[in-house]
Chains A and B, each alone.
Chain A
Amino acid sequence: MSPEELRDLYQSVILDHSRKPRNHGEIQPPCLHAHGDNPSCGDEIDVWVKLDDQNHIADIKFTGQGCAISQASASMMTVKVKGQSTTAAAAMREDFRRVVMGDGKPQDEDALGELTLLEGVQKFPQRVKCAMLGWRALEQALEAPAAPLA
């Protein structure tokens, strides 16, 4: 790891999202919700999603605690997927996974936009799970039954 690689990991946009997370908070039920955590490091993300009648993400919010990468990645994710269809969000998730794992070229790099700034994670394999935590929670929320939160 060089200081340059470290600064790539923690770019100013990423730090900005970690300091001032966007779409932070909860959505009142009825909505979809999932809790994601990385037990080995204790990071947690909760994602709340409201879908419209065409399966588009009408609103999304998250709460959580953890490292700058996990929190910034979740924040950036909420900005990107808001207004997207669940299918588009799933495709974006797969493209994002490719970017942070260095696993081939994303299918639609333009759709990822500033999410590609997290490609610095490639050099820090043990942080991939941090970058993916919010996305894992989103995936779970979208798979969850549409029943409101208890």
Chain B
Amino acid sequence: MDWPRIRDDFPILQQEVNGHPLIYLDSAASSQKPRSVIQALTHYYERDNANVHRALHALSMRATDGFEAARRTVARFISASSENEIIFTRGTTEGVNLIANAWGNANLKPGDVILSTGMEHHSDLVPWQLAAQRTGATLKHIPVLDDGTLDIEAFEKLLTPEVKLLAIVHISNSLGTINPVREMCAKAKALGATTFVDAAQSAGHIPLRVQDIGCDFLAFSGHKICAPTGIGVLYGRMALLEAMPPWHGGGEMILTVTLDSCTYKAPPARFEAGTPDIAGAIGLAAAIDYLEAIGLENIEQHGLQLASHALEKLGSIEGLRILGPTTGPRGSLVAFHCDFAHPHDIVEWANTYGIAMRGGHHCTQPLMKRFKVPGTTRASFYLYNTTQEIDRLAEVLESARKFFS
């Protein structure tokens, strides 16, 4: 694989920032878009744009075909058993809120336990706090060990018959930890619990097969996998989706409506009230086609190589401490704490040299507290990054160390 050539597919990377070639190391927050995705959006808006479903004119039929073809592409991408298990959302956050409301309100009651982890993004924490308040269920968290992995012994103790839902992140956005979601879902399911996996950081980075993971629900965002912002996916096992009441009401999710009542469509339409992000779905399909042409196994290998290189290069900087696993498989990101400067000073310093990183709590405040840091600096990678960029990052961090120390 000619990785440096991949960069040519991303027009945005061909620019200078503050007089230096842009080094974009913030893909865990949002990825850049290849030309093919941008062209798919342009093509849609220049030729096919119309509202989907119902209408019988040519443009609407083309828009509908593109939108529904995107659903099939997503189903294939995550090995769902049917495209009807794919619900288009605005992103991971909306997916979690959809389950927490539609499934949660119908299935959780006082005495029930929602079991999550201490390393969740706020988007897989706050919706469950709200669900617990609404339903009287209790929210519990699997602790995180010093090495950034989950305390599996504690998990097994916390996994009691009262657990109705296991909600866990696949790859931590703050630590890079890859959680054993397959084994954890199997254990939870053996006790009759429903399972949800937050795949925001794993989708598009490693091969993702829902039937292999064995989860009931899984969510991810398009914009982190080369697709536009505003589109995301919630996968749900059909038996569960069919039993769920709607969350949002409106057009497109109903069969018949009278002034007093209505009947609902089958999933996925039941959960897609209103005009969806049609262009976004088509852009997402183009992004998936792009990633699959390169190969998810190849992208996974490249990501691990970049992370390993960063662990080695950054790990040798004095006063810099890396959070999360330092051996074995890891997500394609490295978050660290510097004893010589605050994350915002580091990020400001790096920005001057054209390097885009993120500093702060990364929407995981409980985890920052757990590791007793006010925040961290995070360098996150994707298929367009190179080891040379990480070498440059290490140089710039070394200069920051000298300056701030």
Segment with Cβ contacts to A, from B136-144, B275-283, B340-348: B340-348
Residues 346-385 of B, flagged 1 when their CB comes within 8 A of A and 0 if not, give: 0011011100000011000100100000110000000000
Q: Which residues of A contact B349 (CB under 8 A)?
A: 6
A127 with B374, Cβ < 8 A, contacts A2-B19, A15-B404, A66-B342 known: no
B352 touches A6 (CB 8 A): yes
A42 touches B345 (CB 8 A): no
Q: Which residues of A contact B368 (CB under 8 A)?
A: 42
A65 with B341, Cβ < 8 A, contacts A2-B18, A2-B19, A41-B360 known: no
Q: Which residues of A contact B365 (CB under 8 A)?
A: 42
The residues in B between 232 and 282 inclusive whose CB is less than 8 angstroms from any CB of A are none
Q: Does A131 contact B (CB under 8 A)?
A: no
The residues in A between 34 and 57 inclusive whose CB is less than 8 angstroms from any CB of B are 40-43
Report the minimum CB–CB distance from B195 to chain A (whole Å).
32
Q: Does A3 contact B (CB under 8 A)?
A: yes
Report the minimum CB–CB distance from A117 to chain B (whole Å).
16
A124 with B348, Cβ < 8 A, contacts A2-B19, A42-B360, A68-B341 known: yes
Report the minimum CB–CB distance from B194 to chain A (whole Å).
33
A3 with B352, Cβ < 8 A, contacts A41-B344, A67-B342 known: yes
B348 touches A66 (CB 8 A): no
Q: Does A115 contact B (CB under 8 A)?
A: no
Counting chain A CB atoms within 10 Å of each CB, the highest count among B18, B352, B403 belongs to B352
Q: Does A130 contact B (CB under 8 A)?
A: yes
A127 touches B348 (CB 8 A): yes
B375 touches A1 (CB 8 A): no
Report the minimum CB–CB distance from A103 to chain B (whole Å).
21
Size band of the A side of the interface? 20 to 34
Q: Does A9 contact B (CB under 8 A)?
A: yes
Q: Does A135 contact B (CB under 8 A)?
A: no
CA distance A68 to B346 in the complex (A): 10
Q: Does A10 contact B (CB under 8 A)?
A: yes
B352 touches A1 (CB 8 A): yes
CA distance A2 to B353 in the complex (A): 8
Residues 119-136 of A, flagged 1 when their CB comes within 8 A of B and 0 if not, give: 000001001001000000
CA distance A5 to B341 in the complex (A): 18
A6 touches B348 (CB 8 A): yes
Report the minimum CB–CB distance from A69 to chain B (whole Å).
8
CA distance A69 to B342 in the complex (A): 10
B352 touches A41 (CB 8 A): no
Q: Which of A6, A10, A41 contacts B375 (CB 8 A)?
A: A41
B352 touches A10 (CB 8 A): no
The residues in A between 17 and 43 inclusive whose CB is less than 8 angstroms from any CB of B are 40-43
Q: Which residues of A contact B344 (CB under 8 A)?
A: 41, 43, 66-67, 127, 130
A68 touches B342 (CB 8 A): yes
Q: Which residues of B contact A41 (CB under 8 A)?
A: 344, 360, 375
The residues in A between 63 and 110 inclusive whose CB is less than 8 angstroms from any CB of B are 65-69
Q: Which residues of B contact A15 (CB under 8 A)?
A: 404
A1 with B351, Cβ < 8 A, contacts A15-B404, A65-B374 known: yes
CA distance A108 to B342 in the complex (A): 32
Q: Which residues of A contact B348 (CB under 8 A)?
A: 1, 6, 9, 124, 127
A10 touches B374 (CB 8 A): no
A10 touches B361 (CB 8 A): no
Q: Which of B353, B374, B404 contacts A42 (CB 8 A)?
A: B374
CA distance A127 to B347 in the complex (A): 12
Counting chain A CB atoms within 10 Å of each CB, the highest count among B18, B348, B403, B404 belongs to B348
Report the minimum CB–CB distance from A92 to chain B (whole Å).
25
CA distance A144 to B404 in the complex (A): 36
Q: Which of A1, A5, A68 contacts B345 (CB 8 A)?
A: A68
Residues 66-94 of B, flagged 1 when their CB comes within 8 A of A and 0 if not, give: 00000000000000000000000000000
Chain A residue at smallest Cβ distance from B360:
A41
Report the minimum CB–CB distance from B109 to chain A (whole Å).
34
Report the minimum CB–CB distance from A63 to chain B (whole Å).
13
Report the minimum CB–CB distance from A121 to chain B (whole Å).
11
CA distance A55 to B344 in the complex (A): 36
Q: Which of A10, A65, A67 contacts B403 (CB 8 A)?
A: A10
CA distance A2 to B361 in the complex (A): 27
A10 touches B351 (CB 8 A): no
Task: For the complex of A and B, list the 10 residue pairs with the smallest distance between their C-beta atoms, beginning with the closest.
Answer: A67-B342, A67-B344, A1-B352, A6-B352, A1-B18, A68-B345, A67-B345, A65-B374, A42-B375, A42-B374
The 9 listed contacts between A and B (C-beta, < 8 Å) are A2-B18, A6-B349, A10-B345, A10-B403, A41-B360, A42-B361, A42-B368, A42-B375, A67-B344
Give A residues with C-beta under 8 Å from B.
1-3, 5-6, 9-10, 15, 40-43, 65-69, 124, 127, 130
With A42-B374, A68-B342, A130-B344 already in contact, 11 other A-B pairs whose C-beta atoms are closer than 8 Å:
A2-B352, A3-B352, A5-B352, A6-B348, A10-B345, A42-B375, A43-B374, A66-B342, A67-B345, A69-B345, A127-B344
